[in-house]
Structure 1
Amino acid sequence: MFTLNKYPNSQLLIEDLTAHIVKELQQAINNKGHASIAVSGGKTPIPLFKLLSQQDLDWHNVFITLVDDRWVDDTDDASNEKLVLTYLLQNKAKLANFVGLKNSCDNPFDGAEITDKILNKIPMPFDVLILGMGEDGHTASLFPGAANLMAGLDMKSGRKVVGMTPLTAPLDRITLTLPTILDSQNIYLHLVGESKMQVLEQAEKGDDINQMPIRAILQQNKVNVIGFWTAS
Protein backbone atom coordinates (compact mmCIF):
# COMPACT_ATOMS: atom_id res chain seq x y z
CA MET A 1 0.00 0.00 0.00
CA PHE A 2 1.37 3.41 -1.03
CA THR A 3 0.54 6.72 0.64
CA LEU A 4 2.03 10.10 -0.18
CA ASN A 5 2.84 12.93 2.24
CA LYS A 6 3.31 16.36 0.65
CA TYR A 7 5.26 19.21 2.26
CA PRO A 8 5.47 22.96 1.52
CA ASN A 9 9.27 22.91 1.70
CA SER A 10 12.23 20.56 1.99
CA GLN A 11 13.05 21.45 5.59
CA LEU A 12 9.66 20.33 6.89
CA LEU A 13 9.90 17.15 4.82
CA ILE A 14 13.35 16.31 6.20
CA GLU A 15 12.30 16.98 9.79
CA ASP A 16 9.26 14.73 9.49
CA LEU A 17 11.14 11.98 7.65
CA THR A 18 13.87 12.08 10.29
CA ALA A 19 11.26 11.76 13.03
CA HIS A 20 9.75 8.72 11.30
CA ILE A 21 13.17 7.08 10.95
CA VAL A 22 14.28 7.72 14.52
CA LYS A 23 10.98 6.47 15.92
CA GLU A 24 11.16 3.18 14.00
CA LEU A 25 14.84 2.58 14.73
CA GLN A 26 14.48 3.28 18.46
CA GLN A 27 11.39 1.09 18.67
CA ALA A 28 13.30 -1.74 17.00
CA ILE A 29 16.20 -1.32 19.46
CA ASN A 30 13.76 -1.38 22.37
CA ASN A 31 12.12 -4.55 21.04
CA LYS A 32 15.08 -6.49 19.63
CA GLY A 33 18.22 -4.83 20.93
CA HIS A 34 19.26 -3.64 17.46
CA ALA A 35 17.94 -1.88 14.36
CA SER A 36 18.85 -1.83 10.67
CA ILE A 37 18.43 0.76 7.94
CA ALA A 38 19.27 0.78 4.22
CA VAL A 39 19.74 4.19 2.60
CA SER A 40 20.00 5.49 -0.95
CA GLY A 41 22.60 7.86 -2.38
CA GLY A 42 22.52 10.94 -4.58
CA LYS A 43 22.20 14.60 -3.66
CA THR A 44 18.60 14.43 -2.38
CA PRO A 45 19.33 12.66 0.95
CA ILE A 46 22.34 14.79 1.99
CA PRO A 47 20.30 17.21 4.17
CA LEU A 48 18.47 14.21 5.63
CA PHE A 49 21.77 12.50 6.47
CA LYS A 50 23.08 15.64 8.17
CA LEU A 51 20.02 15.97 10.39
CA LEU A 52 19.77 12.26 11.09
CA SER A 53 23.40 12.13 12.22
CA GLN A 54 22.62 14.57 15.03
CA GLN A 55 19.72 12.62 16.52
CA ASP A 56 19.76 11.04 19.97
CA LEU A 57 19.61 7.34 19.26
CA ASP A 58 21.41 4.23 20.48
CA TRP A 59 23.56 4.36 17.36
CA HIS A 60 25.93 1.61 18.50
CA ASN A 61 22.96 -0.73 18.09
CA VAL A 62 22.12 0.50 14.58
CA PHE A 63 23.31 -1.26 11.41
CA ILE A 64 23.46 0.80 8.22
CA THR A 65 23.88 -0.37 4.65
CA LEU A 66 23.16 0.94 1.16
CA VAL A 67 20.29 0.20 -1.18
CA ASP A 68 22.74 0.37 -4.09
CA ASP A 69 26.13 1.70 -5.08
CA ARG A 70 28.27 2.38 -8.11
CA TRP A 71 31.14 -0.05 -8.53
CA VAL A 72 33.83 2.49 -7.69
CA ASP A 73 36.24 2.94 -4.78
CA ASP A 74 34.87 4.60 -1.65
CA THR A 75 37.20 7.55 -2.33
CA ASP A 76 35.41 8.28 -5.63
CA ASP A 77 32.86 11.12 -5.62
CA ALA A 78 30.42 8.80 -7.41
CA SER A 79 30.47 6.39 -4.46
CA ASN A 80 27.35 6.20 -2.29
CA GLU A 81 29.52 4.72 0.42
CA LYS A 82 31.63 7.89 0.40
CA LEU A 83 28.41 9.94 0.63
CA VAL A 84 27.25 8.03 3.71
CA LEU A 85 30.68 8.19 5.36
CA THR A 86 30.82 11.94 4.72
CA TYR A 87 27.31 13.01 5.75
CA LEU A 88 25.62 10.28 7.81
CA LEU A 89 28.34 8.52 9.80
CA GLN A 90 29.18 11.77 11.56
CA ASN A 91 28.32 13.39 14.89
CA LYS A 92 26.29 10.99 17.06
CA ALA A 93 25.84 8.52 14.20
CA LYS A 94 29.58 7.81 14.14
CA LEU A 95 28.82 4.95 16.52
CA ALA A 96 26.65 3.11 13.98
CA ASN A 97 27.76 -0.13 12.32
CA PHE A 98 28.19 0.37 8.56
CA VAL A 99 28.29 -2.42 5.98
CA GLY A 100 29.09 -1.38 2.40
CA LEU A 101 28.22 -3.16 -0.84
CA LYS A 102 31.45 -2.69 -2.81
CA ASN A 103 34.26 -5.25 -2.57
CA SER A 104 37.58 -5.86 -4.30
CA CYS A 105 36.23 -7.73 -7.33
CA ASP A 106 36.68 -6.11 -10.74
CA ASN A 107 32.96 -5.80 -11.38
CA PRO A 108 29.65 -6.13 -9.51
CA PHE A 109 28.67 -9.28 -11.39
CA ASP A 110 31.69 -11.16 -10.03
CA GLY A 111 31.41 -9.41 -6.67
CA ALA A 112 27.71 -9.97 -5.98
CA GLU A 113 28.17 -13.36 -4.30
CA ILE A 114 30.72 -11.92 -1.85
CA THR A 115 28.49 -8.93 -1.06
CA ASP A 116 25.56 -11.28 -0.57
CA LYS A 117 27.47 -13.03 2.23
CA ILE A 118 28.73 -9.77 3.74
CA LEU A 119 25.13 -8.59 4.08
CA ASN A 120 24.50 -11.44 6.52
CA LYS A 121 25.98 -9.02 9.08
CA ILE A 122 22.87 -6.83 8.70
CA PRO A 123 19.86 -7.87 10.79
CA MET A 124 16.89 -8.39 8.50
CA PRO A 125 14.17 -7.53 7.87
CA PHE A 126 15.29 -3.91 7.62
CA ASP A 127 13.46 -1.72 10.09
CA VAL A 128 13.71 1.20 7.66
CA LEU A 129 14.61 1.34 3.98
CA ILE A 130 14.79 4.64 2.09
CA LEU A 131 14.41 4.79 -1.67
CA GLY A 132 14.71 7.50 -4.26
CA MET A 133 13.38 7.51 -7.81
CA GLY A 134 14.91 8.60 -11.10
CA GLU A 135 13.32 10.51 -13.96
CA ASP A 136 13.25 7.22 -15.90
CA GLY A 137 11.30 5.43 -13.17
CA HIS A 138 14.23 3.50 -11.73
CA THR A 139 14.66 2.95 -8.02
CA ALA A 140 17.69 1.57 -6.21
CA SER A 141 19.76 0.50 -9.26
CA LEU A 142 16.86 -1.35 -10.83
CA PHE A 143 17.00 0.41 -14.21
CA PRO A 144 14.48 0.04 -17.02
CA GLY A 145 15.77 -2.00 -19.94
CA ALA A 146 18.94 -3.17 -18.16
CA ALA A 147 20.07 -6.66 -19.16
CA ASN A 148 20.01 -7.92 -15.58
CA LEU A 149 16.78 -6.19 -14.52
CA MET A 150 14.72 -9.40 -14.43
CA ALA A 151 17.28 -10.98 -12.08
CA GLY A 152 16.93 -7.97 -9.80
CA LEU A 153 13.13 -8.18 -9.82
CA ASP A 154 12.92 -11.96 -9.41
CA MET A 155 11.12 -12.61 -6.11
CA LYS A 156 12.30 -16.25 -6.02
CA SER A 157 15.99 -15.85 -6.83
CA GLY A 158 17.22 -16.05 -3.25
CA ARG A 159 19.82 -13.36 -4.01
CA LYS A 160 20.22 -10.27 -1.86
CA VAL A 161 22.09 -8.30 -4.52
CA VAL A 162 22.77 -8.30 -8.26
CA GLY A 163 25.06 -6.39 -10.59
CA MET A 164 23.45 -3.92 -12.97
CA THR A 165 24.58 -2.02 -16.07
CA PRO A 166 22.15 0.89 -16.60
CA LEU A 167 21.19 2.02 -20.10
CA THR A 168 20.38 5.53 -18.85
CA ALA A 169 23.26 6.20 -16.43
CA PRO A 170 27.03 5.68 -16.29
CA LEU A 171 28.98 3.06 -14.32
CA ASP A 172 28.12 -0.48 -13.34
CA ARG A 173 26.16 -0.79 -10.11
CA ILE A 174 25.36 -3.27 -7.38
CA THR A 175 21.84 -3.16 -6.01
CA LEU A 176 19.62 -4.84 -3.50
CA THR A 177 17.14 -7.10 -5.26
CA LEU A 178 13.40 -6.51 -5.10
CA PRO A 179 12.83 -9.31 -2.53
CA THR A 180 15.57 -7.85 -0.32
CA ILE A 181 14.09 -4.35 -0.58
CA LEU A 182 10.68 -5.72 0.34
CA ASP A 183 12.18 -7.53 3.33
CA SER A 184 11.58 -4.33 5.28
CA GLN A 185 9.22 -3.17 7.99
CA ASN A 186 8.98 0.37 6.61
CA ILE A 187 9.83 1.74 3.16
CA TYR A 188 10.09 5.50 2.67
CA LEU A 189 10.27 7.08 -0.79
CA HIS A 190 12.06 10.46 -0.69
CA LEU A 191 11.21 12.74 -3.62
CA VAL A 192 11.97 16.38 -4.41
CA GLY A 193 10.78 18.34 -7.45
CA GLU A 194 7.77 18.78 -9.71
CA SER A 195 9.32 16.45 -12.29
CA LYS A 196 9.41 13.64 -9.73
CA MET A 197 5.71 14.11 -9.09
CA GLN A 198 5.05 13.74 -12.81
CA VAL A 199 7.11 10.53 -12.92
CA LEU A 200 5.29 9.22 -9.85
CA GLU A 201 1.89 9.91 -11.40
CA GLN A 202 2.95 8.15 -14.59
CA ALA A 203 4.19 5.17 -12.59
CA GLU A 204 0.91 4.88 -10.71
CA LYS A 205 -1.10 4.81 -13.95
CA GLY A 206 0.64 1.81 -15.52
CA ASP A 207 1.71 -1.67 -14.48
CA ASP A 208 4.74 -2.48 -16.67
CA ILE A 209 7.58 -2.85 -14.15
CA ASN A 210 10.13 -3.35 -16.94
CA GLN A 211 9.31 0.12 -18.23
CA MET A 212 9.30 1.71 -14.75
CA PRO A 213 10.76 -0.53 -12.02
CA ILE A 214 9.48 1.80 -9.27
CA ARG A 215 6.08 0.23 -9.98
CA ALA A 216 7.30 -2.97 -8.33
CA ILE A 217 7.53 -0.97 -5.09
CA LEU A 218 4.38 1.11 -5.46
CA GLN A 219 2.08 -1.72 -6.50
CA GLN A 220 3.05 -4.51 -4.09
CA ASN A 221 1.05 -5.44 -0.99
CA LYS A 222 3.83 -6.84 1.22
CA VAL A 223 5.10 -3.62 2.81
CA ASN A 224 3.51 -0.23 3.43
CA VAL A 225 5.34 2.46 1.46
CA ILE A 226 5.16 6.13 2.47
CA GLY A 227 6.21 8.80 0.00
CA PHE A 228 7.68 12.10 1.23
CA TRP A 229 7.48 14.76 -1.49
CA THR A 230 8.10 18.47 -1.80
CA ALA A 231 8.28 20.65 -4.88
CA SER A 232 11.63 22.19 -3.93
Structure 2
Amino acid sequence: MADRLDSSAVLHEWPDRDALDRALAEAVGAALQAGLERRGTASLVVSGGRTPLGFLRALAQAPLDWSQVAVTLADERWVDVLDEASNERLLVSALSGTPAAAARIVGLKTAHADPESALTEVAARLATLPRPFDAVVLGMGDDGHTASLFPDAPQLAAAIASPAPVAALTPRGAAHARLSLTPAALFDAQALFLHITGDGKRSVLDAALGDGPVEALPVRLALRHDRPVCQVYWAP
Protein backbone atom coordinates (compact mmCIF):
# COMPACT_ATOMS: atom_id res chain seq x y z
CA MET A 1 0.00 0.00 0.00
CA ALA A 2 1.36 3.42 -0.96
CA ASP A 3 0.27 6.73 0.54
CA ARG A 4 1.35 10.26 -0.31
CA LEU A 5 2.77 11.84 2.83
CA ASP A 6 2.48 15.45 3.92
CA SER A 7 5.89 16.07 2.35
CA SER A 8 6.66 15.13 -1.24
CA ALA A 9 7.52 11.58 -0.12
CA VAL A 10 5.43 8.45 -0.73
CA LEU A 11 5.02 5.82 2.00
CA HIS A 12 4.93 2.09 1.16
CA GLU A 13 3.89 -0.02 4.15
CA TRP A 14 4.50 -3.76 4.38
CA PRO A 15 3.25 -6.29 6.94
CA ASP A 16 6.71 -7.65 7.75
CA ARG A 17 10.35 -7.11 6.95
CA ASP A 18 10.67 -10.02 4.54
CA ALA A 19 7.90 -8.57 2.40
CA LEU A 20 9.54 -5.15 2.56
CA ASP A 21 12.93 -6.57 1.56
CA ARG A 22 11.47 -8.35 -1.46
CA ALA A 23 9.45 -5.34 -2.60
CA LEU A 24 12.34 -2.92 -2.20
CA ALA A 25 14.69 -5.30 -4.02
CA GLU A 26 12.21 -5.50 -6.89
CA ALA A 27 11.90 -1.71 -7.11
CA VAL A 28 15.65 -1.11 -6.96
CA GLY A 29 16.31 -3.92 -9.42
CA ALA A 30 13.88 -2.31 -11.85
CA ALA A 31 15.70 1.02 -11.49
CA LEU A 32 19.04 -0.65 -12.20
CA GLN A 33 17.64 -2.50 -15.19
CA ALA A 34 16.33 0.78 -16.57
CA GLY A 35 19.82 2.23 -16.25
CA LEU A 36 21.36 -0.75 -18.01
CA GLU A 37 18.90 -0.41 -20.86
CA ARG A 38 19.38 3.34 -21.09
CA ARG A 39 23.19 3.53 -21.11
CA GLY A 40 24.61 0.03 -20.74
CA THR A 41 25.79 0.61 -17.16
CA ALA A 42 24.08 1.30 -13.86
CA SER A 43 25.01 2.72 -10.46
CA LEU A 44 23.64 2.10 -6.99
CA VAL A 45 24.18 3.77 -3.61
CA VAL A 46 23.28 1.75 -0.52
CA SER A 47 23.47 2.29 3.22
CA GLY A 48 25.28 0.31 5.89
CA GLY A 49 24.10 -1.08 9.18
CA ARG A 50 22.00 -4.19 9.81
CA THR A 51 18.67 -3.02 8.42
CA PRO A 52 19.67 -3.39 4.72
CA LEU A 53 20.97 -6.97 4.96
CA GLY A 54 17.77 -8.75 3.94
CA PHE A 55 17.15 -6.25 1.15
CA LEU A 56 20.71 -6.60 -0.16
CA ARG A 57 20.51 -10.38 -0.16
CA ALA A 58 17.21 -10.26 -2.06
CA LEU A 59 18.55 -7.70 -4.55
CA ALA A 60 21.70 -9.76 -5.08
CA GLN A 61 19.59 -12.49 -6.73
CA ALA A 62 18.10 -10.12 -9.33
CA PRO A 63 18.72 -11.27 -12.92
CA LEU A 64 20.78 -8.23 -13.91
CA ASP A 65 24.02 -7.90 -15.83
CA TRP A 66 25.83 -7.25 -12.58
CA SER A 67 29.19 -6.92 -14.33
CA GLN A 68 27.94 -3.56 -15.60
CA VAL A 69 26.67 -2.34 -12.21
CA ALA A 70 28.73 -0.18 -9.84
CA VAL A 71 27.79 -0.08 -6.16
CA THR A 72 28.97 2.42 -3.57
CA LEU A 73 27.96 3.43 -0.07
CA ALA A 74 26.09 6.44 1.25
CA ASP A 75 28.62 6.71 4.07
CA GLU A 76 31.45 4.94 5.84
CA ARG A 77 32.92 4.73 9.31
CA TRP A 78 36.65 5.49 9.31
CA VAL A 79 37.75 1.97 10.21
CA ASP A 80 39.65 -0.72 8.33
CA VAL A 81 37.59 -2.45 5.65
CA LEU A 82 37.96 -5.73 7.57
CA ASP A 83 36.61 -4.21 10.78
CA GLU A 84 33.15 -5.38 11.84
CA ALA A 85 32.00 -1.75 11.85
CA SER A 86 32.90 -1.28 8.18
CA ASN A 87 29.95 -0.70 5.85
CA GLU A 88 32.05 -1.88 2.91
CA ARG A 89 32.71 -5.17 4.71
CA LEU A 90 28.98 -5.67 5.24
CA LEU A 91 28.21 -4.90 1.61
CA VAL A 92 30.84 -7.27 0.22
CA SER A 93 29.67 -10.01 2.59
CA ALA A 94 26.02 -9.56 1.57
CA LEU A 95 26.85 -9.86 -2.14
CA SER A 96 29.42 -12.64 -1.84
CA GLY A 97 28.43 -15.90 -3.52
CA THR A 98 25.52 -14.30 -5.40
CA PRO A 99 25.11 -13.02 -8.96
CA ALA A 100 25.72 -9.51 -7.62
CA ALA A 101 29.27 -10.46 -6.63
CA ALA A 102 30.17 -9.50 -10.21
CA ALA A 103 29.32 -5.85 -9.49
CA ARG A 104 32.08 -3.27 -9.11
CA ILE A 105 32.26 -2.15 -5.49
CA VAL A 106 33.47 1.42 -5.05
CA GLY A 107 34.45 1.75 -1.40
CA LEU A 108 34.84 5.03 0.47
CA LYS A 109 37.62 4.02 2.90
CA THR A 110 41.18 4.91 1.91
CA ALA A 111 44.60 4.52 3.51
CA HIS A 112 44.49 8.10 4.79
CA ALA A 113 44.64 8.64 8.53
CA ASP A 114 41.34 10.54 8.62
CA PRO A 115 38.37 11.21 6.35
CA GLU A 116 39.30 14.88 5.82
CA SER A 117 42.54 13.83 4.12
CA ALA A 118 40.69 11.36 1.90
CA LEU A 119 38.13 13.71 0.34
CA THR A 120 39.98 14.27 -2.94
CA GLU A 121 40.66 10.58 -3.52
CA VAL A 122 37.11 9.54 -2.66
CA ALA A 123 35.65 12.22 -4.93
CA ALA A 124 37.79 10.84 -7.75
CA ARG A 125 36.50 7.32 -7.07
CA LEU A 126 32.91 8.51 -7.14
CA ALA A 127 33.54 10.33 -10.41
CA THR A 128 33.97 6.92 -12.08
CA LEU A 129 30.34 5.99 -11.37
CA PRO A 130 27.55 6.67 -13.87
CA ARG A 131 25.56 9.72 -12.80
CA PRO A 132 22.88 10.41 -12.00
CA PHE A 133 22.84 7.31 -9.81
CA ASP A 134 20.13 4.92 -10.93
CA ALA A 135 19.07 4.25 -7.35
CA VAL A 136 19.98 5.60 -3.92
CA VAL A 137 18.77 3.64 -0.88
CA LEU A 138 19.09 5.51 2.40
CA GLY A 139 18.50 4.45 5.97
CA MET A 140 17.63 6.48 9.06
CA GLY A 141 18.87 6.48 12.62
CA ASP A 142 16.84 6.97 15.78
CA ASP A 143 18.15 10.54 15.92
CA GLY A 144 16.91 11.28 12.41
CA HIS A 145 20.29 11.08 10.69
CA THR A 146 20.63 9.66 7.20
CA ALA A 147 23.88 8.59 5.57
CA SER A 148 26.31 10.13 8.09
CA LEU A 149 24.52 13.46 8.18
CA PHE A 150 24.11 13.49 11.97
CA PRO A 151 22.26 16.32 13.72
CA ASP A 152 25.06 16.65 16.30
CA ALA A 153 27.93 16.78 13.79
CA PRO A 154 29.63 20.19 13.82
CA GLN A 155 30.19 19.90 10.06
CA LEU A 156 26.52 19.21 9.23
CA ALA A 157 25.56 22.64 7.86
CA ALA A 158 28.67 22.79 5.69
CA ALA A 159 28.03 19.28 4.36
CA ILE A 160 24.42 20.14 3.50
CA ALA A 161 25.51 23.24 1.58
CA SER A 162 28.56 21.70 -0.09
CA PRO A 163 28.65 21.19 -3.88
CA ALA A 164 31.28 18.47 -3.35
CA PRO A 165 30.16 14.82 -3.45
CA VAL A 166 31.58 13.86 -0.04
CA ALA A 167 32.16 15.42 3.36
CA ALA A 168 33.98 14.43 6.53
CA LEU A 169 31.93 14.49 9.72
CA THR A 170 32.65 13.78 13.38
CA PRO A 171 29.31 13.14 15.09
CA ARG A 172 29.62 13.68 18.83
CA GLY A 173 27.56 10.61 19.68
CA ALA A 174 29.24 8.20 17.26
CA ALA A 175 32.19 5.95 17.96
CA HIS A 176 34.02 6.74 14.73
CA ALA A 177 34.69 9.65 12.42
CA ARG A 178 32.64 9.39 9.24
CA LEU A 179 32.77 10.13 5.55
CA SER A 180 29.38 10.76 3.94
CA LEU A 181 28.03 11.51 0.54
CA THR A 182 26.52 14.99 0.57
CA PRO A 183 23.00 15.92 -0.55
CA ALA A 184 24.57 17.18 -3.78
CA ALA A 185 25.52 13.58 -4.59
CA LEU A 186 22.81 11.60 -2.78
CA PHE A 187 19.98 13.33 -4.59
CA ASP A 188 21.63 13.22 -8.02
CA ALA A 189 19.56 10.12 -8.65
CA GLN A 190 16.91 8.65 -10.89
CA ALA A 191 15.23 6.91 -7.93
CA LEU A 192 15.44 7.64 -4.20
CA PHE A 193 14.39 5.23 -1.45
CA LEU A 194 14.29 5.42 2.36
CA HIS A 195 14.35 2.00 4.06
CA ILE A 196 13.20 1.92 7.70
CA THR A 197 11.80 -0.68 10.06
CA GLY A 198 10.24 -0.76 13.51
CA ASP A 199 7.74 1.33 15.44
CA GLY A 200 10.47 3.51 16.94
CA LYS A 201 11.71 4.67 13.58
CA ARG A 202 8.13 5.13 12.39
CA SER A 203 7.75 7.65 15.21
CA VAL A 204 10.93 9.42 14.08
CA LEU A 205 9.57 9.43 10.53
CA ASP A 206 6.33 11.00 11.70
CA ALA A 207 8.29 13.69 13.54
CA ALA A 208 10.46 14.33 10.48
CA LEU A 209 7.36 14.88 8.38
CA GLY A 210 6.42 17.77 10.63
CA ASP A 211 7.66 21.32 10.48
CA GLY A 212 11.18 22.06 11.55
CA PRO A 213 14.70 22.59 10.27
CA VAL A 214 16.52 19.87 8.35
CA GLU A 215 19.46 20.30 10.73
CA ALA A 216 17.33 18.94 13.59
CA LEU A 217 16.33 15.80 11.67
CA PRO A 218 18.53 15.52 8.57
CA VAL A 219 16.35 12.79 7.07
CA ARG A 220 14.05 15.69 6.17
CA LEU A 221 16.48 16.38 3.33
CA ALA A 222 15.26 13.19 1.65
CA LEU A 223 11.62 13.48 2.67
CA ARG A 224 11.34 17.00 1.27
CA HIS A 225 13.13 16.22 -1.97
CA ASP A 226 10.87 16.16 -5.02
CA ARG A 227 13.12 15.27 -7.97
CA PRO A 228 13.20 12.39 -7.46
CA VAL A 229 10.41 11.91 -4.93
CA CYS A 230 11.53 9.85 -1.95
CA GLN A 231 9.88 6.43 -1.77
CA VAL A 232 9.68 5.40 1.91
CA TYR A 233 9.56 1.64 2.56
CA TRP A 234 8.52 0.72 6.11
CA ALA A 235 7.58 -2.43 8.01
CA PRO A 236 7.08 -3.04 11.73
Which interval holds the TM-score relative to the shorter structure? over 0.9
Deviations 1:129-170 (A, max 9, x none): 00000010100000002111012101xx32100111112221
Q: TM-score, normalised by structure 1?
A: 0.96
206-215 or 190-199, which moves further after superposition? 206-215
SS of alignment partner, residue 205 of structure 1 = coil
2:165 alignment partner in structure 1:
160
Q: Which runs of 5+ in 2 are unaligned?
A: 1-7
1:113 alignment partner in structure 2:
120
Residue 104 in 1 paired to residue 104 in 2?
Answer: no
Residue 39 in 1 paired to residue 46 in 2?
Answer: yes
Q: Spell out the pairing of 1:140-159 with structure 2 (5 A cutoff).
A: 140-154=147-161, 157-159=162-164
Does the aligned pair in 2 maintain the 1:191–1:228 contact within 8 Å? yes
Q: Which runs of 5+ in 1 are unaligned?
A: none
Q: TM-score, normalised by structure 2?
A: 0.95
Q: Spell out the pairing of 1:20-59 with structure 2 (5 A cutoff).
A: 20-59=27-66
SS of alignment partner, residue 162 of structure 1 = strand
2:184 alignment partner in structure 1:
179
Count matched residues. 229
1-structure distance, mates of 2:72, 2:195: 17
Does the aligned pair in 2 maintain the 1:132–1:139 contact within 8 Å? yes
Q: Which runs of 4+ in 1 moved over 6 A?
A: none
SS of alignment partner, residue 121 of structure 1 = coil
Given the alignment, which residue of 197, 203, 216 partners 2:221? 216
TM-superposed deviation, 1:89: 4.3
Does the aligned pair in 2 maintain the 1:162–1:175 contact within 8 Å? yes
Q: Spell out the pairing of 1:69-148 with structure 2 (5 A cutoff).
A: 69-148=76-155
Deviations 1:77-135 (A, max 9, x none): 00000001101243101111111011111000111121111111111110000000001
